């Protein structure tokens, strides 16, 4: 197997090869290509696929890098994340152009996604410098305590080990090579082996080089990051089974996610899988929200259609289920949605396969008894650009038919007409776990909405009011998660700074001499970390404060 060093990520021609521990490695398992979904034309270069034997090189390098990377001082660690962001911004024009060609997504969307990618890297750099994620706790010794003395006990959270991350189809940047899972795993101190998504391989290579270059520029072990191309099923399963991999981050289909979960659970030493998989994101309209004049109802309808059709509906938080009151106000809203939807043309979907799956899902939905058309747009002018659609049914039919609960990935939604709060609550209890739930209401609706809140808390990760679930803020308080099948672990989030906690575990040190304690828990506190001492928060003094 031959390999060559990667070059500085400033407009260099694509190689079509994996990047393993800083080197460009040709695969020996055949090739794949990206396609322009607007034309179905193949894109150059073809990408060579590694085989399982070659994958071991990446996981072994990650294991070798773990010792030094997991103990990196906060300043160097944070500088690494910032350098990745700088390198991505240096190739932004090239990156956005390639991503547009590979995904059919518009320039404005991808430019914004580039900013989100670099922004979350810099946010995690702040987290690393500040250090609270290390969770330092100190219970000082109490030798005079009776009837039993207390030992000196110190706790911190340490990185799990190398992490396998799988790129998402619908976010080629923010949920992909340097996206949230990679950024949070690297911020936790875990090397990453990234499985590139074969639908946007060139985009992945450009970002992968930016990360590999950052590691080289700061003198880090090159095994801190590898980017591999391979058949999704075989390489994905090999990653999940590899004993060097200690956790998995995944965004994708329910079938693929549960398959990785099964493999990870069947290992001699099982590992956690943090998978984001399926969500239809219910939206609840209350009477007061639809009681305004025609202009206000039209505005609501237009904003709904915009949320549904943005990025061709290929967002994990797209509003796929809408509860609308039965009666005149609901009729008026549905008619307004129909009018606005008729003005919308389909947008190019990410791949021909995704467009075909969307078509099959819509045909399955529309063929169900009791389901009727509410509105439809027109087909787009490119390949793989089907017309957006909305269908409708009633709460009783929804409760009795599991097909109506299935996600259709793309611009399709189902209106549920309800007649009472009891029907809303019953329908909510019937649903699977979701990423979001949205309430449209006025102050007059608060009493009616209050009993729904505890039901939603058991079903979703984020509850919104008078907004739309599409558009996920990256910050400290955000939760992008939810009960199964929205995610595989409802205790976590894949967006926001709390995401770092997925890749850490606690370790306690009892009566260890100061010289043997790791830096975060030493009495001298050389990293100037905040800590809890006997349960009380003690803020560290930092230079410049």
pLDDT at 496: 95
Instruction: Give me the residues paired with residue 166 across strands.
Output: 195
Q: Judge residue 371's burial from the number of C-beta atoms within 10 Å of its C-beta, 0-12 exposed, 13-18 middle, 19 or more buried.
A: buried
* pLDDT grade for 163, boundaries at 50, 70 and 90: very high
Whether residue 463 is predicted with pLDDT greater than 70 in this model: the reply is: yes
Q: How many CB atoms lie within 10 A of CB 64?
A: 18
Whether residue 81 is predicted with pLDDT greater than 50 in this model: the reply is: yes
pLDDT at 411: 97
* pLDDT grade for 286, boundaries at 50, 70 and 90: very high
Between vectors from CA 526 to CA 520 and to CA 529, what angle results, nearest 5°?
Answer: 55
Average pLDDT value for residue range 276-296: 96
SS (H, E, C) 414-447: EEEEECCHHHHHHHHHHCCCEEEEEEECCHHHHH
Please tell me the least confidently modeled range out of 11-20, 177-186, 236-245, 513-522: 11-20
Q: Residues 6 or more apart from 297 whose CB is under 8 A from it?
A: 290, 332, 333, 336
Whether residue 177 is predicted with pLDDT greater than 90 in this model: the reply is: yes
Whether residue 261 is predicted with pLDDT greater than 90 in this model: the reply is: yes
Q: Which two structure tokens, joined as six digits, stand for 243?
A: 């004993």
pLDDT at 231: 87
pLDDT at 544: 53
pLDDT at 233: 81
The whole-angstrom separation of Cα 540 and Cα 123 is 20
How many CA atoms lie less than 13 Å away from 530 in the CB half-sphere?
A: 13
In this structure, are residues 212 and 22 in contact, taking their beta carbons and an 8 Å threshold? yes
* pLDDT grade for 232, boundaries at 50, 70 and 90: confident
Of 356, 435, 423, nearest in space to 393 by CA: 423
CATH (one of 3.10.450.50, 1.10.630.10, 3.40.640.10, 3.40.309.10) for 282-465? 3.40.309.10
Whether residue 542 is predicted with pLDDT greater than 90 in this model: the reply is: no
* pLDDT grade for 6, boundaries at 50, 70 and 90: very low
Q: If you average pLDDT over every residue of the chain, what do you get?
A: 95
The whole-angstrom separation of Cα 80 and Cα 84 is 6
Active site residues: 276, 316
Instruction: Please give the C-alpha separations between residue 526 and each of 20, 385, 518, in angstroms, as whole numbers.
Output: 34, 57, 10
Residues of the chain with CATH 3.40.605.10: 17-277+494-501
Average pLDDT value for residue range 177-191: 98
Average pLDDT value for residue range 279-305: 97
Residue-wise pLDDT for 332-388, tens only, equals 999 999 999 999 999 999 999 999 999 999 999 999 999 999 999 999 999 999 999
Residues of the chain with CATH 3.40.309.10: 282-465
pLDDT at 543: 55
Residue-wise pLDDT for 32-78, tens only, equals 999 999 999 999 999 999 999 999 999 999 999 999 999 999 999 99
Average pLDDT value for residue range 397-404: 97
Whether residue 5 is predicted with pLDDT greater than 90 in this model: the reply is: no
pLDDT at 26: 97
Please tell me the least confidently modeled range out of 10-14, 291-295, 311-315, 438-442: 10-14
DSSP calls for 240-283: HH-TT--EEEEES-HHHHHHHHHHHHHSSS---EEEE-----EE
pLDDT at 259: 97
Cis peptide before 286 (omega within 30 of 0): no
Q: Residues 6 or more apart from 202 whose CB is under 8 A from it?
A: 14, 34, 43, 45, 98, 101, 102
For 17-277+494-501, CATH gives 3.40.605.10
């Amino acid at each position: 197997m031959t390999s060559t060093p990667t070059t500085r990520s400033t407009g260099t021609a694509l190689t079509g090869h994996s990047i393993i521990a800083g080197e460009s490695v040709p695969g020996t398992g055949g090739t794949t290509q990206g396609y322009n979904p607007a034309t179905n034309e193949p894109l150059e270069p073809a990408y060579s696929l590694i085989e399982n034997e070659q994958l071991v090189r990446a996981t072994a390098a990650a294991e070798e890098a773990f010792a030094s990377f997991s103990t990196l001082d906060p300043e160097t660690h944070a500088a690494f994340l910032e350098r990745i962001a700088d390198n991505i911004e240096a190739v932004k024009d090239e990156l956005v152009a390639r991503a547009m060609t590979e995904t059919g997504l518009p320039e404005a969307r991808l430019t914004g996604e580039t900013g989100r990618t670099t922004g979350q890297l810099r946010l995690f750099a702040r987290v690393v410098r500040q250090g609270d994620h290390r969770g330092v706790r100190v219970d000082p010794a109490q030798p005079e305590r009776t009837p039993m003395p207390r030992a000196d006990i110190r706790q911190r959270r340490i990185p799990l080990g190398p992490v396998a991350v799988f790129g998402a189809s619908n976010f080629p940047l923010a949920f992909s090579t340097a996206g949230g899972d990679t950024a949070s795993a690297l911020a936790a101190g875990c090397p990453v082996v990234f499985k590139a998504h074969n639908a946007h391989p060139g985009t992945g290579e450009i970002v992968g080089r930016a990360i590999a270059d950052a590691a080289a520029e700061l003198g880090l072990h090159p095994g801190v990051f590898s980017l591999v191309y391979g058949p999704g099923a075989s390489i994905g399963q090999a990653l999940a089974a590899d004993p060097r991999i200690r956790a998995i981050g995944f965004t994708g289909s329910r079938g693929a996610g549960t398959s990785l979960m099964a493999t990870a659970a069947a290992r001699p030493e099982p590992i956690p899988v943090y998978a984001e998989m399926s969500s239809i994101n219910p939206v609840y309209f209350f009477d007061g929200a639809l009681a305004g004049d025609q202009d206000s109802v039209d505005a609501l309808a237009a904003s709904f259609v915009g949320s549904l059709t943005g990025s061709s509906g290929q967002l994990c938080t797209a509003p796929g289920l809408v509860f609308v009151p039965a009666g005149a106000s609901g009729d008026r809203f549905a008619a307004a949605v129909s009018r606005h939807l008729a003005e919308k043309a389909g947008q190019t979907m990410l791949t021909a396969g995704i467009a075909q799956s969307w078509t099959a899902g819509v045909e399955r939905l529309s063929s169900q008894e009791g389901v009727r058309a509410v509105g439809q747009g027109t087909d787009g002018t490119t390949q793989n650009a089907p017309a957006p659609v909305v269908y409708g049914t009633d709460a009783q039919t929804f409760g009795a038919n599991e097909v109506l609960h299935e996600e259709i990935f793309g611009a399709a939604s189902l209106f549920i007409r309800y007649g009472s709060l009891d029907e809303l609550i019953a329908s909510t209890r019937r649903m699977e776990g979701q990423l979001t739930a949205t309430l449209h209401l006025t102050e007059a609706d608060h009493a009616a909405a209050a009993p729904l809140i505890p039901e939603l808390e058991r079903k979703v990760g984020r509850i919104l009011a008078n907004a739309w679930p599409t558009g996920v803020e990256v910050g400290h308080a955000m939760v992008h998660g939810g009960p199964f099948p929205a995610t595989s672990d409802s205790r976590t989030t894949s967006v926001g700074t709390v995401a770092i906690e997925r890749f850490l575990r606690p370790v306690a040190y009892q009566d260890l001499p100061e010289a043997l304690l790791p830096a975060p828990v030493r009495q001298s506190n050389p990293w100037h970390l905040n800590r809890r001492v006997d349960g009380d928060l003690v803020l560290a003094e930092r230079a410049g404060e």
